[in-house]
Amino acid sequence: MSLTPRLDLRQTQTLTMTPRLQQAIRLLQMSALELDAAVTEELEKNPFLEREGGENEADAPEPAEFSEFEGREELKSLFDSAGQEEAPPDTNDQPTEDSFYEQAVDPEPDFSMDFAADPWSGTGAKGEADDGFSAVDLCASKPLSFYESLARQINMAFRDPAERDLALSLIEKLDENGYLPAEACTSEIEKILPVLQGLSPTGIFARSLSECLALQLKERDRCDPAMAVMLENLELIARREYKKLAVLCGVDEEDVADMIAEIKRLNPKPASALTQETPSVLIPDVLLRQDKSGRLIVELNQAALPRVLINHSYVAEISSAGKKDRAAEKFVSEHLSSANFLIKALRQRAETVLKVATEIVERQKDFFIYGEKALKPMVLRDVAEAVGMHESSISRVTANKYIACRRGIFELKFFFSQALESRNGEDSVSAQAVKHRIKELIDAEKRENILSDEALVYLLKRENIDIARRTVAKYRESLGIPTSAQRKRDKRLKG
């Protein structure tokens, strides 16, 4: 067999992930806060972009040489074609129109965005402004950090510079709970440890959980010999071996219950009092309300949508000043094309989120009326086929997107769950609904009749839910519910 060179002609299709296609996909899966940050960054880089309603909003008409549809060809079927068809090249030479501007949002929604006490009615509980706000609130000092708070206390507690420097160096050795590793203690540290453990909050600089709880109990004058023995045997509390604990402490089970209740009121993580951070804001992307006829209305949260536009007056000014200057013309062309693409991508993102959320609400309408027990099984493929998109796009759309309704704020991914077959061959049941039913059964159990996993399987099968015992155990553990033996000890302890 001889090896000879030859020419072959092959035709293949590949997906070209252009930078703009990647940008559009990133925008699709961003949360509301991430999207606002990304748009803000783009506003800083692109001089032709500005927020809608800004000071420099231009009234001048758009120059003829810059089509408002420029760059739209890259967005045609953008989100539902990823991974399936070849993307068009990144040219931006000949702008074309497609169905991108199909109206997906009611241009004149009758829903008031005052999303307050009753989201079903679409009206707020109060119409007046909050007069309790004071300008003094704007002058509130920034809370001290974990290091600053302890450093300030150490500077006042130690006069000796050497001891003060040693104490300050120990702050960095504390773990996230505020404990000092036992192996870090030397003879010098042992001398200053009582002073460090007297700092606020109580329990800081403890070397173990037992010592942390003991410091807090001593401050309350509640660390008697029986309590000291209990602190040395905290693992028995975790295993719910209350009878053995009662024998070791020399008290009855009723006293053990009181002592455990006392311990539960303590703070096992004293550093949390110094590291409290402002909780992240959860902004719903979609709002759900019910009109007077009982129909569910799905709308985008307009407050969470960044609105940007092109300053055409500035574009015209730069274009006229840069005539016959290739560098200026290139600058205008590139930034204007980028601005047009961002505006179109934001609009398509909004339409895609609304389309997917509407389909989810339509399939799970019983949940919004009857609660979690009415949640139906649904997977990404179901929604993808209904809206004509790819499953990966549905996954991106539902990631970090939230819907606000009468029952609270839920992530869109919450409504997806696997199906469990029913015994009578009827409609399958959602795994999430089964978890909810298991929790209901356990919450309703009596002290003298604690339900085992086998008993739960029997009760669920009586409701035509075909489920295995190991599946019940898995669902129970995912809900954070202890075993039947542990629940029996807890109920006996509580009396």
Lowest-pLDDT range of 143-152, 293-302, 353-362, 484-493:
484-493
Dihedrals phi, psi of 423, to nearest 5 degrees: -75, -30
- pLDDT confidence of residue 180: 92
- Sort residue 449 into left (φ over 0), alpha (ψ -120 to 50) or beta: beta
Residue 324 pLDDT > 80: no
Domain that holds residue 156: 146-273
Answer yes or no: do 255 and 335 share one domain.
no
The Cα angle at residue 435 between residues 433 and 441, in degrees rounded to 5: 105
Mean pLDDT value across the chain: 79
Higher pLDDT, 349 or 120: 349
Is residue 48 domain-resident? yes
SS (HEC) of 457-473: HHHHHHCCECCCHHHHH
My answer on whether omega of the bond before 201 falls inside 30° of 0, hence cis, is: yes
Rounded CA-CA distance 257/150 in Å is: 35
pLDDT band of residue 106 (cuts 50, 70, 90) is very low
Residues 6 or more apart from 63 whose CB is under 8 A from it? 312, 315, 316, 319
**CA–CA distance from 40 to each of 43, 81, 339, 399 (Å)?**
5, 28, 13, 21
- pLDDT confidence of residue 422: 65
Structure tokens at 105: 């949002």
**How would you classify the pairing of strands 402-405 and 286-290?**
parallel
In the listed set 226, 250, 273, which residue is the last one of a domain according to the structure? 273
Is residue 211 domain-resident? yes
Average pLDDT over residues 151-180: 92
CB 204, CB 147: distance < 8 Å: no
Tens digits of residue pLDDT in 66-90: 343 444 444 444 444 444 444 444 4
Number of domains in the chain: 3
Is residue 5 domain-resident? no
Average pLDDT over residues 9-28: 80
pLDDT band of residue 344 (cuts 50, 70, 90) is very high
Is residue 32 domain-resident? yes
**pTM, 2 dp:** 0.59
Answer yes or no: do 166 and 268 share one domain.
yes
Lowest-pLDDT range of 100-104, 313-317, 401-405, 430-434:
100-104
Chain center to CA of 272: 21
Answer yes or no: do 311 and 229 share one domain.
no
The CB-based long-range contact list for 266-269 (8 Å cut-off, 24+ gap) reads 266/203, 266/213, 266/216, 266/217, 267/201, 267/203, 267/216, 268/177, 268/209, 268/212, 268/213, 269/176, 269/177, 269/178
Answer yes or no: do 234 and 151 share one domain.
yes
- pLDDT confidence of residue 18: 77
Chain center to CA of 72: 32
- pLDDT confidence of residue 87: 40
Lowest-pLDDT range of 9-23, 122-136, 249-263:
122-136
Answer yes or no: do 72 and 161 share one domain.
no
